[in-house]
Amino acid sequence: MYAIVEIAGQQFKVQKDRRIFVHRLQATEGESVQFEKVMLTDDNGKIEVGAPVIDGVVVSAAVVRHLKGDKVLVFKKKRRKGYQKLNGHRQSFTEILITDIGKGKAPAKKAATKQPVASKPVEEATA
């Protein structure tokens, strides 16, 4: 069984007991996280596609560790001007272990209740 899930703005194909690297998540190591934006699931040939997401399907994962990726060098140069600039960047990643793909609790949708707007008392101008 596998699923296509959106994690931190990117889509990943995940399977149970797989480790994947995603952009840094605000979770501590060892903490369990759940992702509810599941776009597609495949259970032994039975494919279910959401529009855009499947309600009630949750992907559970455990945070293994936080780390940084390889350094990427950005070099800028203008010819014949003597201008050179070298910048480096290391992206922060989180390694997660997919623990379960399955039905979860559907998130309770709160109905938007409109509060009546209190009208302000009108003051009469005295001339």
- The percentage of residues in the chain with a pLDDT greater than 70, rounded to a whole number, is 88
The span from the CA of 22 to the CA of 62, in Å, is: 12
Question: Going edge to edge, which strands form the sheet with 38-43?
Answer: 10-15, 2-7, 38-43, 46-49
What confidence category does residue 28 fall into, taking pLDDT thresholds of 50, 70 and 90? very high
Q: Does the predicted model carry a pTM greater than 0.75?
A: no
- Enumerate the domain spans of the chain: 2-103
- Summarised one tens digit per residue, pLDDT across range 88-122 is 999 999 999 999 998 876 555 555 566 666 677 77
- Which is more confidently placed, 26 or 113? 26
